[in-house]
Structure 1
Amino acid sequence: MRPSRLWRAATPLIAAGALVLAVVGCSSDDGDSQTVASNGQITGTLRLGYFPNLTHAPALYGAEKGIFAKDLGSGVTLKTSTFNSGVQEAEAILSGAIDAGYIGPNPAVNSFIKSHGEAVRIVSGATSGGASLVVKPEITSVAQLKGTTLATPSLGNTQDVALRYFLKKNGLKTDTQGGGDVSIKPQDNTVTVDAFANRAIDGAWVPEPTASRLVAAGGKVLVDEADEWPETKGQFVTTVLLVSTDYLKKNPEIVRRLITANVESINALNADRDAGAKVTNTALGKLSGKPLSDKILTLAWKGLTFTPDPIAASLFTSAKHQEELGLIKNPKLDGLFDLTVLNEILAKQGKPTVADS
């Protein structure tokens, strides 16, 4: 099924930034086509990106438990890279530095528009929920946000758009230079907690676990983003699996195995959420140097839903919000999704298929 609204492509807001903050084994090759050995084994390389965030739990869990390595097969070399913002990861995909990545919906949209609908495809969902606006405890209403400074992970990323649209809806102006009624300061999640503790910012609209870390640092949740999505019953896409179109064409079987691994990781997370949280936290600790405390992990985990459904309706709505904010113009998103393989996998498992509109 294709989206019913056909929007025209134009230039997104985002300019290229620094590509990679933390890279593990990222190569400079251009993603050659998969090959088939004499014994029928598929060989090739997959360069996969994701964040050290709980919202990327299917990636963290799958890597930690060896699900990706198992499902890709011994002939496929997996090389992983970690990023701290969707803008950076999107540029890595567009530049050919990685082949696929777990990423937020707005950077995925921006990449699609920037390449005139050619460079990327969303092949699966991963996570819904897990984003909040956390502020100083003395801020008790939206009106009190006027004159404050709030952080987001990066300019034009999913949470940045959510915050700007929320403020606009409530009559508060912002601009991309940090001016307006509320000053928005995009910055890496790695520095946001310290900035909040030091009173350099008054709050932040961020994904988990940063939101819960802010609460632990004395903040309070002013807005749970789930409350802003009544039309989808509180569900909104936070993370999708994005693949380079060129890589998808050259390596269809490897991409099929990647999607299979993603679904397997999601199934395992949902089968035992407590165990899934512990495995994900172990993986997170290896990347960040320290796992989350049990208190923060429990608080952050409860707001996350893991699903292969990309919740396309919320993605298109968020893109429309970007347009209303003036961050993109007349976007055409038809063709952004390629869920054929995902739906084949779900059907074989006896599970409902998902829609791209």
Structure 2
Amino acid sequence: MNKKILLMLILLIGILVITGCGNESANTSTKVKEITIGYFPNLTHAPGILGVANESFEKEFEGIKVNFKTFPKGSLFMDAIATGQVDIGYVGPGPVLNRYLQGAKVKVLASASIAGNVIVGNESSHISSPIDLANKTIATPGLACSHDLLLRRFLWNNDLKMKKRGGNIKQVLQKPAAMMGLFEQEQIDAAVVSEPWAAVMEEKIDAKILVNWNEMPWGGKMPATVIATTTEFTEDHPKLVKKFLKVNEDNINFIKNNRKESLKLIQQEIKRITKQKLSINILDQALTRTKLTSNIDPEIIQEFANISGDLGVIKKSTDVTGLVDKSFLKEIKQ
């Protein structure tokens, strides 16, 4: 009788183990036939760009079809995340935290880069200190984007304001490519841009760096690019999340240890997307102002969100508790 009970227990445990393994597998790769990754052709997205160029995403997601989509701005990336066109990818912190505060179930899992954002100026504008920005025209790629929020904080730190906030600084919204023409026509005096655009403007139109990456708010520690996905994706596919973060981590280390090779691959990938070939010198200069790291500080993200509230983009609470989830990053680093 005891032997029969023991055999039945062993059989039951075996069934539970098999069932458990089956469920775990069902929640990861066996149910997923495709994964779509989003990113931008900016140097601040370098780990992701390299992942496309060296096919490290395909290698890590073996057996799964990997698709890639590029975006010109963060709001379009967040639209794609919301509609299921993208599963996970790279985006600036501004768009993702704004969507989170608007009720979207999204997560920030890690950083890809910090710094990488600077304020460039027109040589003829005679701007040599923050106070010289008064009565000038400054361009940002969008409203409430990461560049815009950084600028707002920078102005606030220097007792300056936009005209719409009772100050004397005019703001215009333009894509970086269009900014170059406006600089040459002297229609704008300064702009907040991500790399490699600052390095491009330095070389092509003799723009100068007015505020370098380490002089920006938070001493340049503000994430330029984060890894974002939906809460549903983290819950349903934790193994795939960790695979993605592993590729990001590996590529950060590869770029640090193989700078020349990495820049050549990134150059090729940016050219494929934008049809423009940036010189290695431009990319190398841009990388000196971009710090690649997966580490992320939730407190800085919270302060960033508070600016959205002050700006009026968010009408409700600006509490982003729960947006940043570092548990997956901790696991892969261990």
Q: List per-residue Cα deviations over 1:260-299 (Å, max 9, x = no partner).
A: 2111211211222232222212211111112212332222
The answer to whether structure 1 residue 212 and structure 2 residue 224 are counterparts is no
TM-superposed CA distance for 1:312, in Å, is 2.6
Aligned residue number for residue 307 of structure 1 = 293
Question: Are the counterparts in 1 of residues 150 and 216 from structure 2 also a CA contact under 8 Å?
Answer: no
Between the aligned partners of 1:195 and 1:328, the Cα distance in structure 2 is: 31
Question: Are the counterparts in 2 of residues 49 and 80 from structure 1 also a CA contact under 8 Å?
Answer: yes
Q: List per-residue Cα deviations over 1:170-193 (Å, max 9, x = no partner).
A: 23221669x851111122223222
TM-score normalized by structure 2? Answer: 0.84
SS at match of 1:327: coil
TM-superposed CA distance for 1:56, in Å, is 0.3
TM-superposed CA distance for 1:236, in Å, is 2.3
SS at match of 1:309: coil
Identity of aligned residues (%): 29
Q: Which amino acid aligns with 1:119?
A: K
SS at match of 2:119: strand
Aligned residue number for residue 35 of structure 2 = 46
Aligned residue number for residue 148 of structure 1 = 136
The answer to whether structure 1 residue 167 and structure 2 residue 150 are counterparts is no
SS at match of 2:33: strand
CA 1:200–1:35 in 2, change beyond 3 Å: closer, same or farther? Answer: farther
Aligned residue number for residue 187 of structure 2 = 200
TM-superposed CA distance for 1:314, in Å, is 2.4
Deviates more, 1:198-207 or 1:312-321: 312-321
Which is helix-richer, 1 or 2? Answer: 2
1:1-357 aligned within 5 A: 43-74=32-63, 76-115=64-103, 118-137=104-123, 138-174=126-162, 180-216=167-203, 217-229=205-217, 234-329=220-315, 330-347=317-334
Question: Are the counterparts in 2 of residues 67 and 264 from structure 1 also a CA contact under 8 Å?
Answer: no
TM-superposed CA distance for 1:90, in Å, is 1.6
CA 1:160–1:34 in 2, change beyond 3 Å: closer, same or farther? Answer: farther
Question: Are the counterparts in 2 of residues 34 and 44 from structure 1 also a CA contact under 8 Å?
Answer: no
CA 1:227–1:293 in 2, change beyond 3 Å: closer, same or farther? Answer: same
TM-score normalized by structure 1? Answer: 0.79
Between the aligned partners of 1:281 and 1:175, the Cα distance in structure 2 is: 39
CA 1:121–1:237 in 2, change beyond 3 Å: closer, same or farther? Answer: same
Between the aligned partners of 1:298 and 1:266, the Cα distance in structure 2 is: 15
Between the aligned partners of 1:150 and 1:167, the Cα distance in structure 2 is: 11
Q: How many residues align?
A: 307
Question: Are the counterparts in 2 of residues 56 and 127 from structure 1 also a CA contact under 8 Å?
Answer: yes
TM-superposed CA distance for 1:218, in Å, is 1.4
Gap runs ≥5 in structure 1: 1-32, 348-357
TM-superposed CA distance for 1:317, in Å, is 2.4
Question: Are the counterparts in 1 of residues 153 and 217 from structure 2 also a CA contact under 8 Å?
Answer: no
Question: Are the counterparts in 1 of residues 122 and 188 from structure 2 also a CA contact under 8 Å?
Answer: no
Q: Which amino acid aligns with 1:49?
A: G
SS at match of 1:184: strand
TM-superposed CA distance for 1:85, in Å, is 1.3
TM-superposed CA distance for 1:96, in Å, is 2.5
RMSD over aligned Cα atoms: 2.4
TM-superposed CA distance for 1:201, in Å, is 1.8
TM-superposed CA distance for 1:135, in Å, is 0.7
Gap runs ≥5 in structure 2: 1-22
Question: Are the counterparts in 1 of residues 267 and 279 from structure 2 also a CA contact under 8 Å?
Answer: no
Between the aligned partners of 1:293 and 1:337, the Cα distance in structure 2 is: 36
